[in-house]
Amino acid sequence: MNFFKKQAKQIDVESIKKQLSNSPDLVNRTVTVGNKTIELYFLKNLVNRISIEKNIISFLNNSTSEEINLNYLFEHLPITEVKELVETNDISKYILDGFTFIYLPSEKKGLFAGVGDPVERSLEKAETESLVYGPKISFTESLSTNIKVLRHNVSNPNLVTDEIILGERVKQKVRIVYLNDIVDPELVTSIKDRLNNIEIDDIMDSSVLAQFLDDNPYSFFPQYLMTELPDRVIYSINNGRVAIFVDRSPTAVICPSTFFSFFETTEDVYLRWILSTVLRWLRMIAMVLSIFFTAIYVAAVTFHYEVIPSRLLVTLGQSRAQIPFPPILEALLLEIMIDLLREAGARLPSKVAQTMGIVGGIVLGQAMVEAGLTSNILIIVVALSALSSFTAPSYEMGTAIRILRFPIIILAGVWGFNGIIIGVCFLLTHLLKLTSMNTPYLAPLYPFNSMDLKYFLFKLPKEFYINRPLTNQTLDKRRLIAKKEKSDRDIDDEM
Amino acid sequence: MGIPRVLYQETKQDAWIVIILSGLILSFILLIMIYTLKKFNDKDLFQIHGILFGEIIGKIINTILILYFLSAFYSIMSEYIELVISWGNEGVYYWFPAFVLIVLSIYGVFGGVKVVAGICFITFWFTFWLILLLPLTFDHFIFERIAPIFNTPVVDIGQGMLKTTYSLLGFECILFIYPFVKDKTKVFRFTLLGIWFTLLLMLSLTIVSILFFSPNHLKHTIWPILNMMSIVRLPFIERFEYIAVSFWILIIYSNLTLFLWIASKGIKRVFKLRQKKGVYVSGILIFILSFVINDRDSTEKFSDFVNYFGFCLWICYPIFLFLITKVKKV
């Protein structure tokens, strides 16, 4: 008998070692209680040692040898997460997840005890998306923390978090989060289908996942909203959308996202409706300005002097008198400079970045004007359009807009206002062609839906929000907002 | 854009009567069209021809239709290029705007019927605001110019109606879009609305031009609406018509994509080519045409021909089609 036991044990150790590619971190600890030996296998970097010492080893030492069997451990081990061994191949998978494998040679059976100590940082303030109002907390790199944050905020049994494992070489947990009673079930199945069809070694980040889900991979518009704000995710799933979380990534992917949802922030919900409508429109106008302002300058100065009012024309002529370049070159030069500044600012440590902003922005700009390379007015134009592009609440959309500016400027330099309009036509057609998880990108503008405009283009007082956005095709169309009773109170009547 | 002048040449200050009359005729034609379409549910005109006249004759008629839409495409495009070359882009080669517009339309058509419809819808809102500028010309109106009314001979009114109807063409597209419309009961209502909206637009533009220009001036102004717009002066924009000229691209863009889409659909039906290939072939044909017909005289002759062609096809032919369906009892 003894012989057999030993053989079984040895095979086990070898197979575990083999499965874990002979990792030097693998600890094989044997605990002897009376005449029974119990073996523990774990990776020492992944587990919480105190938990093993207190909850497993000292627990075993305090039990008698007759008590110890698989059932007993299953029922009495003071550890929250205990799992049964089903397949031998599972051993490595669970050990890699931070479980400890407790093996009973006498029964040739074992179980897993969750004593993992995941690497994570504490919950911090959001950095890429900043809000003035509202909750500041942001997601972290740990999937379980993110789900925890979400569950804390939405105590609703209908909140579903389906798990899918993706990646061939690096197994990655992906969670699909939605509200069961609101979301369109077809949307969920199509998302799951697409996720299951992804073949990749390693999904680095949720943004990579989003690119795999893209309907139109050749477009430079982001097709899914990426956010690190829990309240934004909650707002979206409340409106019948789906959020996708990836382990190791602090950003959630919200799908489907329409063009206009990139210009709304949750702050719009928190602020009074007039303010948020004005702010949302300000952002839209900023987008238009950012794309077209420099191009209009180039077109007007190159081709259409007639359009500029005569007084402005004099100022413009004076400031451009010394400049040796054609307007398009001048504009491209300055635009590229601004983008260089921005890119350098993003790469540098934040302390240096400030200094560089001053050097680059003020000194270089001033010097360029004095050296007669660019005109003052163009500096204003370019700075304004750069500033406008930063108002987009989504970083990806802001970047897309900034890049979009260059082809439009070139078109304007080639064929004036007509060129710009040609650019507009291309842009419009492109946006019309785009879809995000089969939802038209330009919804609710096209297909036109007047009821949904209040969600995407402006905000109205709360009485108008009786239905959820129709574009999302939610199961439960009505929101639970009590209809305001019509009061027939006249002027000066008491309440 | 040039309609007020054309009408004025025929019917003087009574042009507005003509417009209303032709609106009535068009509504009647539309009624007949929709009636015929309802007989064959979910079929477009290309397929209807196949059913009515058999394979071979149907194909011949469909080829004529395709040629019509391609030439209508070219005539719209060439009229715009004419305009753009005279306003602010003197010296641009004729083929350059043609090339750009063709590429643009091909890109649009590739999105399929949904994108084409979207282009029509969105460009409408992008250009709609241009009308709001017209009241700014109010200061220059002389109201006596509209009087005396009803002093045009009937023959001239007939001539004028001929010209109006074919500048109102475009509603015939419903013959091809019909299978894609979800709610068939509302088709007539909305197409009618579309026709009368265009009509109203034309009416107001014509009346405004009559009030604005002196008779001789209007007769010799090729693009009266554009000339009117140069009066519009905003604090930050002078010479507004340059902006209007570029915005005009959006208006013709929706027409171009729609016509190209119909033509390529026809090519698919007749020659059994893939629609993508049909679009390329049509694009190349039109581009080659832009080297042949590219001066003021020939483009004008060409668009006169297209207009006449369109008048026969879409005003007279639907009645014929209607009678045939009646006789054949489909």
Report chain A residues whose CB lies below 8 A from the CB of B108: 425, 429
Mean pLDDT of chain B: 85
Chain A residue at shortest CA distance from B87: A304
Residue with tokens 């504490």: A122
Contact B249 A425 (CB under 8 A): yes
Contact A448 B121 (CB under 8 A): yes
Q: Report the pLDDT value the prediction gives residue A409, as an integer from 0 to 100.
A: 95
Q: What residues does each domain of chain A span?
A: 2-114, 143-268, 281-440
- ipTM for this model: 0.91
Compute how many other C-beta atoms are within 10 angstroms of the C-beta atom of residue B145.
17
Which A residues 418-457 touch B at CB under 8 Å? 418, 420-422, 424-426, 428-429, 432-433, 442, 445-448
Asked if A16 contacts A110 with a C-beta cutoff of 8 angstroms, the reply is no
> By the CB < 8 Å criterion, does B230 face chain A?
no
Which H or E run includes A193?
Answer: helix A185-196
DSSP-derived 3-state class of residue A100? strand
Give the gap in angstroms from C-alpha B111 to the nearest C-alpha of chain A.
6
Could you say which residues of chain A have pLDDT below 70? 1-13, 480-487, 495
Q: What residues does each domain of chain B span?
A: 3-328
Contact B121 A433 (CB under 8 A): no
Question: Of B107-121, B276-290, B293-307, which range is least confident?
Answer: B293-307
Q: Report the pLDDT value the prediction gives residue A227, as an integer from 0 to 100.
A: 92
For the stretch B88-136, pLDDT in tens is: 777 788 889 999 999 999 999 999 999 999 999 998 888 788 778 777 7
In this complex, which of B100, B236, B249 lies closest to A309 when CB atoms are compared?
B236
For the stretch A311-356, pLDDT in tens is: 888 888 888 888 888 999 999 999 998 888 888 888 888 778 778 7
Q: Which CATH architecture has domain B3-328?
A: Up-down Bundle (1.20)
Contact A426 B104 (CB under 8 A): yes
Structure token pair of residue B292: 């042949």
Q: Report the pLDDT value the prediction gives residue A12, as an integer from 0 to 100.
A: 63
Question: How do strand A252-255 and strand A242-246 relate by DSSP bridges?
Answer: antiparallel
Burial degree of A320 (CB within 10 A; 0-12, 13-18, 19+): middle
Query: Does residue B73 have a pLDDT over 90?
Result: yes
> By the CB < 8 Å criterion, does A314 face chain B?
no
The vertex-A128 CA angle with A125 and A129, nearest 5°, equals 75
**Best residue in B100, B101, B102, B190 to probe A by mutation, most A CBs within 10 Å?**
B100
Q: Comparing B3 with A223, which gets the higher pLDDT?
A: A223
Closest among B23, B22, B2, B308 to B158, alpha carbons compared: B22
Average pLDDT over residues B290-301: 86
Which H or E run includes B52?
Answer: helix B45-86
SS (H, E, C) A382-440: HHHHHHHHCCCCCHHHHHHHHHHHHHHHHHHHHHHHHHHHHHHHHHHHHHHHCEECCEE
Q: Report the pLDDT value the prediction gives residue A7, as an integer from 0 to 100.
A: 42
Q: Report the pLDDT value the prediction gives residue A1, as an integer from 0 to 100.
A: 37
Q: Report the pLDDT value the prediction gives residue B16, as an integer from 0 to 100.
A: 79
Contact B249 A307 (CB under 8 A): no
Q: Report the pLDDT value the prediction gives residue A191, as an integer from 0 to 100.
A: 93
Give the gap in angstroms from C-alpha B92 to the nearest C-alpha of chain A.
9
Q: How far is CA B214 from CA B133, B141, B159, B219, in A?
A: 20, 10, 22, 9
For the stretch B29-38, pLDDT in tens is: 889 888 888 8
